[in-house]
Amino acid sequence: MAEKEDQTDAGSGTGEEKPAPRRCVYALIAIMVLGVGLRFRRLGDKSLWLDEATSVYLCRLQMIPPAEREALGFFGRMGRMVEELKKHDAHPPLFQIVLFFSLELLGISEWAARLPSALAGILTIWLMYRLGSGLFDRRTGLIAAGIAAVSAHLVYFSQEARLHGMVILVTVAHLYLLARLLKPGQRATWAWVAYVLVGAAGLWTYAPYGTVLVGHWVMFALYGSRRRRDIHAFLIAQMLILVSLLPWVPAMQEVSGRVADRLKAHPEERVPLTHDQVAQQLSEVLGGIRYLYSLTFMSRPYFAAALVLVFMMKFCSLAIIPGGLRQGAHGARLCAVVFLPVIAYCLSPMPRVHIFELKHVIFFVPLSILAAAAWFGDTGRLQWARRSLGVLLVLGNLYFTCVYLSPWFEKEPWREVIAKIDRAGRRGDLLMVNPEYAQAPYYIYGRRNLPIAGPPVRFGRMMSRGLSPNIRRVWLVDVRSPVARPAPEPGRWLETNWTLVRLASVTREYHGALGSIRVRLFRRPETSTHAPPRAPLDF
């Protein structure tokens, strides 16, 4: 009886949605409260890591003098930020504009920088419920919202001052609008307009979002209306979405050209994309293994139990396949929109630098959760097994999100490192950050009482001429991560010609994949042959 009631509540394609039962409303409220709590928990406690600091650095225009920055005015600063973004990043500027408004209105802080992503994550939970309910039934909608509320990946990207939380929100909203357009009697003009605007927002947030449209094309071809007017409307909508990005194409080409030139000069940085890399990343989505499974956790006495848990969490990812094939209330299946965008991204002719990460196909995360929820919520055979795996998935993500993701997890502790250097620095010191683009956190956190240089340009000139006699000590800060590869020349030159007096390594590792900061202090060599002992830095 309960199953029949749930199916009746979901509607039968008439275009009219009945009010949700009271128990469903209460469950959704509880899920939303849980999701809000996890996303705002310790939101501003962790320091901005390199990519976040770069976003804030661009929004605050900290590459120009403060007086010039203030003279530009509000919209002048926004326009200048967009121009600077063209030089630094191939991503379109929509997220940067949203971040700009947040920092202008709330002031510069970690909390204000991450607030847009947190709000996007909260809205994603509600849309996951609406999408699951519309495509399948309210049970599936609640399961999708519940997994989304505690998902380690969604919580992580909701607490990061980067564009990925907004991409996740746009992905869900865009599919929700497509699902409405697939319903009989749901082809109002406002729905087409909203579909175009949300699709354009996706492209203006993250250019590879265009691969998501491939899934939309196939899904409409399989399950959309066969009326000529509706086909024409869909084709016009797709054309408008793609054309909307044309003003940003020259900037993307310029940045891509610079990346291609760098890869020609340094072919060792080109990493071919393999199916093993993609499969490993995608298999960790539901269980959140990438961010939750740490070497610290695995070294504990219950090692065997941890292995079993990790295996079970990875096994849950298989639910994506039958869930994507489950037929929805209106005949549609999710297989096209779940898998085709990832395939299209992997086949796209873009330059491959360093590594493949899940965030490169971040649109896969909410779609995979929705597909898994479709399988967990199915009322067919092995229902008890599916529900058990769903409960394990939710509890595992909830436990690890609370215990490990926060507060232990931190990519690069810039705030504490720079504060200690500021306190220990003195006249005659030079701060050098390696690689050069890692200077952004210093401009966010440092008092800038030390002159700063970054390789290879400025420091290369200094080495060729010899450092000024006024510089007695050099602080060398190396950022070491899979994507931030410092140039070796400055360190070698200092090790050869100067005296290493202090050394510290401030490391934050999670599953051996994330970054660390190494700080070394070099002193100009003295005439005496007796070198002072190397004293450790107190980090």
Q: What distance lies between CA 279 and its chain's CA centroid? A: 18
The DSSP code for 402 is I
- In the block, tokens 């008439």 appear at 14
Question: Contact 374/333 with Cβ under 8 angstroms?
Answer: no
Per-residue model confidence (pLDDT) at position 123? 98
- Classify residue 128 by burial, with Cβ atoms within 10 Å: 0-12, 13-18, 19+: buried
For the chain, the farthest-separated pair of C-alpha atoms sits apart, in whole angstroms, at 91
Using alpha carbons, select from 405, 464, 386, 483 the residue that is nearest to residue 51: 483
Number of neighbouring beta carbons within 10 Å of residue 75: 8
In angstroms, the CA 444 to CA 414 distance is 9
State the DSSP string of 25-89: HHHHHHHHHHHHHHHHTTTTTSPP-HHHHHHHHHHTTTTS-HHHHHHT-HHHHHHHHHHHHHHH-
The backbone torsions φ and ψ at residue 398, rounded to the nearest 5 degrees and listed phi first, read: -65, -45
In angstroms, the CA 195 to CA 473 distance is 58
State the DSSP string of 439-491: GHHHHHH----S-EE-TTHHHHHHHHH---TT--EEEEEEEESSS----HHHH
Question: Contact 490/457 with Cβ under 8 angstroms?
Answer: no
Per-residue model confidence (pLDDT) at position 490? 79
The DSSP code for 401 is I
The CA-based angle 51-57-60, given to 5 degrees, is: 145
- In the block, tokens 């209306």 appear at 225
Give the alpha-carbon dihedral of 287, 291, 293, 299, to 10 degrees.
-170
Q: In the beta sheet, which residues pair with residue 474?
A: 430, 522
The backbone torsions φ and ψ at residue 301, rounded to the nearest 5 degrees and listed phi first, read: -60, -30
Per-residue model confidence (pLDDT) at position 527? 44
Angstrom distances, CA of residue 247 to CA of 52, 76, 91, 250, 323: 25, 19, 13, 7, 39
**Three-class SS of 310-374:** HHHHHHHHHHHHHHHHCCCCCCCCCHHHHHHHHHHHHHCCCCCECCCCHHHHCCHHHHHHHHHHH
Question: Contact 350/155 with Cβ under 8 angstroms?
Answer: no
Model pLDDT for residues 270-308, shown as the tens digit of each residue? 777 777 778 777 887 887 765 544 444 445 555 666 666
In angstroms, the CA 468 to CA 327 distance is 72
Contact partners, residue 251, CB within 8 Å, separation at least 6: 85, 86, 90
Residue type, 462: M
Using alpha carbons, select from 527, 535, 469, 506 the residue that is nearest to residue 49: 506
Per-residue model confidence (pLDDT) at position 4? 47
First to last CA, the chain: 62
The CA-based angle 166-64-85, given to 5 degrees, is: 30
Residues (pLDDT < 50) of the chain are 1-16, 292-298, 407-408, 456-457, 509-513, 527-531, 533-536, 539
Per-residue model confidence (pLDDT) at position 176? 95
The DSSP code for 518 is E
Question: Contact 409/507 with Cβ under 8 angstroms?
Answer: no
pTM: 0.88
For residue 305, the surrounding DSSP H or E stretch is: helix 303-315
For the record, the structure tokens of 36 come out as 């809000």
